[in-house]
Amino acid sequence: MYQSEDTASAPATAVLTGLGAWLPPDEVTNDELCAHLDTSDAWIRERIGIAVRRRADPKTATGDLATEAGARALRSAGVTGADAVVLATTTPDHPCPATAPAVAARLGLGNVAAFDLAAGCSGFLYATTVAAGLIRSGTAGRVLVIGAETMSAVIDPEDRSTAPIFGDGAGAAVLEAGRPGQAGSLGEVVWGSDGERSGAIVIPVGGARNRDGRDSAPKAERHVTMRGNEVLRHAVRRMTAAANQAAAEAGWAPEDIDRLIVHQANARISAAVAEALGVPPERVPSNIASVGNTAAASIPLLLTDAAADGALRPGHRVLLVAFGSGLAWAATTLVWPGGLEPER
């Protein structure tokens, strides 16, 4: 069991020390999608905010993306090992076993604890919360947290309501034990779920619930289905409430927030959340135009891009918030640390 150097004064806190990202090389433009969908490049850009998204080839799975992003995050942190791996994903390589143990093995981490976590697009923030708990309890001193998705495996390419939205990719972070109040330490987490609306984003067939129809079900039921208007309405409301509470826990007023990192679901959703929080647009980084909605990979991909591009600078007060299937949401805060060099 790991013990912090200052166990007498306070439990260790989880501190961000490394970031890495990986995207499949193949891009799919709006024009390519519009060739077989009843939509247009202008509609996708205006309504969703996406110009291109990445697609993994059929031989590339979530574990491959996760391994690449994890390796980059470890190099970014300047370390070669971790005590645990938490992989947030809704598109694991197999229903059984979990994908994380194989990722840990491929990264050369040995016989460490490794497991998957499914919380949709909120998965990365859920996973960092679990990792922070492992660190605070003394169970782990360093945790590799990965958000990785091969959404193309569960999207119907003929469905105009989902095919333009989702992309493939992976992002990862290294969290290490540190001192409370240290730059890079995660703040209080606000999270929750609403299972009464779990059908708003769902793959109806393929699990234990509808296993009798696994082979005979219509094609649409074997892919992600989404009630878009319902998701948009709840996403804005839930993310705004969670973000407000997380900022209050940190003692921040809206004008104190230097950067708002919103799950990249839809450009209009991000703008609505920022407006509701009173955060000006120039403080809200975005990469949805070039990667699409990458579900659990969204937050770490955006953090990596924003840090690499200089949009995140040491001392910035950063508010992070996400919302996705479940329905599930989460928000937390951190002060951006100095010396963190992401690898993408």
Active site residue 263: yes
Q: Give the dihedral sign, CA 171/177/178/181.
A: positive
| Residue 108 Ramachandran class (φ > 0 left, ψ -120 to 50 alpha, else beta) | left
| CA dist., res. 55 & res. 269, Å (int) | 23
Residue 290: phi and psi, rounded to 5, are -105, -10
| CA dist., res. 329 & res. 311, Å (int) | 24
Active site residue 96: no
Q: Residue by residue, what is the 3-state secondary structure of 187-253?
A: CCCEEEECHHHHHHEECCCCCCCCHHHCCCCCHHHHCCEECHHHHHHHHHHHHHHHHHHHHHHHCCC
| CA dist., res. 265 & res. 123, Å (int) | 13
Active site residue 293: yes
Name residue 56's amino acid: A
Question: Is 212:45 a contact under the CB 8 Å cutoff?
Answer: no
Q: Quote helix, strand, coil % in the chain, to nearest 5.
A: 35, 20, 40
First to last CA, the chain: 32
Q: Give the dihedral sign, CA 253/127/200/52.
A: positive
- Among candidate residues 30, 121, 244, 266, the one labeled active-site is 121
- Among candidate residues 30, 223, 263, 266, the one labeled active-site is 263
The catalytic residue positions are 121, 263, 293
